[in-house]
Chain A
Amino acid sequence: MAKPPLRSSVTFLIILGVLFLGMQFLRPELTNPPVKADLQAPPEVKQILRNSCYNCHSNETRLPWYDKVVPAYWIVTSDVTTARQHLNFSELGSLPPAAQKAKLYEAVNQIQLGAMPLPAYTKVHPEATVTEAQLKVLRDYLAPASLTTPAETATANEQYGKWLPNGTNLTQTHLSPNGVPFLPDYKNWKAISSTDRFDNHTMREILGNDIAIKAIAENHINPWPDGTVLAKVTWFQQPDDKGFVHAGAFQQVELMERDSRKYAATGNWGYGRWRGTELKPYGNDAKFDAECVGCHTPVKKNDYVYTMPIAGQGKGQSQ
C-alpha cells in the first residue's frame, strides 16, 4: 500500500496554520456603544437576562477568548449585530412602557419556544441556557394579568357609528408594501380560534378562507396548502363595569397568505397588516415583513403558524 509522503502532509499542515493565523487579522469591528437606556427590572429578572441574553442583545457584549478566534469571531460578530437590531436591552428603557413590555413578552416566548438563546449558541455556551426555574421568574414578572384599564368607550362608539352605515368603503387597492393584497371578504370567513391577549389588552378572532377550513377538516396543516389565507382581527379590550370585557375599538386586521412561489423568500407566507378603520397598510417599505418573519420563526416547524385551529371544522350543517 502506498502511503502519502510525510513531507507533503507537513507542508499541508503548515499552509493551514499560516492561513489560520492570517485569517485572525480579518476582524470586523465589534464595539460596545455606551449604554443609553438600560432596561429597568427587578434584580432577579435582570440577572437572568444579563446571564443569558446580554452578550448579544445589549451594548455590554463580553466575549470569552474562544469567541475571539476566527472563524468563530465572524459568526459571533454577525450574530451580535443582528441581535442588537432586533432587541437591545441597553436601549430598551427609552421605549414607552407598553412597548418595553411587548418586547419582554416576545423575548419570553422566544425562550419558551426554544428559539432563544440560539440553540447553536447554548451548545458552545451552556451556561447561557435559561432553566425552567429562570423561565418561571421571567413569566411571574410579566404575569400579573392586570385588569384592562377602561378604554375610551367614546372612541369605540364613534367608530361603530361610522362603520355601521358604510361598511367597507375602500377607495384604493390597499396593497401591503410587500405586495400582499387586502382581502375585504375576510370578515365572512369561518372562525378557527380566538385569543385573549392580556399582554397587550387586545382580543382577536382568527379566521380562515375556504382552503384553510378544508385543510383543517382534512388535517393538512403542516404544511398548509398554497392558497390558504388566515386573518387575525384585533380589537382593544373594552371592559364594562361588571368586569366583563367586550370587543372594543377595531385595531387592525392581519393576513397570512400562503404561496410557495410568490412568497418563497419569506417562508412561503406573505404577511400584511392593515390598521384602523381606514385600513392603513402597515410598514414603510417592502422589507417591513422581516419583523413578521422574525416573530413567526420560533414556530417555523409548524409552518410558521401560531394558531392551533379548533378541531371539528367541517362537521355539522351550516344552516
Chain B
Amino acid sequence: MSLMNKSKRSRTNRAALLSAVFTLLLAGCASDVNPRVATRPNNDAALTGDLPVNPLQWKVITSAIDKQNSTMYTLFGNDVAVQYARTHAQHDYPAGSTLSLVTWSQQEDPRWFGGNIPSAPKSVEFVAVALGPDKKPTYVYQEFEGSPLKKTSSQESTAPDGRSAYLVNQRAAVMP
C-alpha cells in the first residue's frame, strides 16, 4: 500500500516537474521577444468607417507633417490624378481625378526612438473632379472625421475653394 502511494506520488511529482519545466520554457520563449519587436500591424492607424473608397489602395502623391499639432498627412491619388500630378506643375486636374488627404495623429514609433508614425486617423478628405453638364469641371469635396470615420462635410463647387483648393494645390513629391 505504502509502496503504491510512493510510486503514485513520484509520478505526480514528475508530471508536476515536467509541466513546470515546460511552462518555464514557454515563458522563456515568450519573454525572449522584446514587446517593441513583437509582430503586429498598426491597428491604431487603420481607416475604419464608411469611406466610399480606401485611399490606401491608391498611390502616394506627397506627404506633410504638422509639428505643432503632432499630426501627419499623406496625399493619395487615383491613377488619373497621380499621372497628372507627376507630370504637371499646374493644378488643373483632369476629370476623373480623385485626391484623398488622410490625416493621422502621431505616436512615437515603438521600434525607433527618433521617429513618429501614424496613430488614430483624424480625418479623410476627398476631392473628385468631374465634368459638369456645361463641360466645365466640378469639384466634389467630402470630409470624414471621427472614429469610426463618418461623413461630416460635402460640398460641390465649380472652382476649388477652401480645403479642396488646399488638396489640389499640393505638388507631387519627387520620386525618381
Contact = CB atoms under 8 A, between A and B. Distances in A.
Q: Do A and B bind each other?
A: yes
Interface of A: 105, 108-109, 112-114, 139, 142, 145, 147, 156, 159-161, 163-165, 167-168, 186-191, 193-200, 203, 205, 207, 216, 219, 221-222, 233, 235, 237, 239, 243-247, 249-250, 253, 277-279, 298-299, 301-303, 306, 308-313, 315-319
Interface stretch (B4-12, B13-21, B53-61, B134-142): B53-61
B7 to A, nearest CB: 23
Contacts of B65: 196, 203, 237, 244-245
A112 B36 contact: yes
B43 interface: yes
A3 B106 CA distance: 71
Contacts of A278: 176
Contacts of B63: 194, 203, 205, 235, 247
A247 B64 contact: yes
A110 to B, nearest CB: 10
Given A310-B46, A312-B47, A302 B39 contact: yes
Given A193-B42, A195-B115, A245 B67 contact: yes
Contacts of B40: 308
B41 interface: yes
Contacts of B78: 318-319
B161 interface: no
A160 B105 CA distance: 28
Given A190-B59, A203-B65, A309 B41 contact: yes
Nearest to B80: A319
Given A113-B34, A113-B37, A221-B41, A310 B56 contact: yes
Interface residues of B, number: 56
B138 to A, nearest CB: 19
Given A205-B74, A277-B176, A316 B64 contact: no
A199 B114 contact: yes
A245 to B, nearest CB: 4
B167 to A, nearest CB: 14
B160 interface: no
B88 interface: yes
Given A167-B86, A279-B176, A245 B64 contact: yes
Interface string B59-89: 1101111111000101010100010001111
Contacts of A200: 114
Contact of B62 (A108, A246, A319): A246
Contacts of A197: 112, 114-115
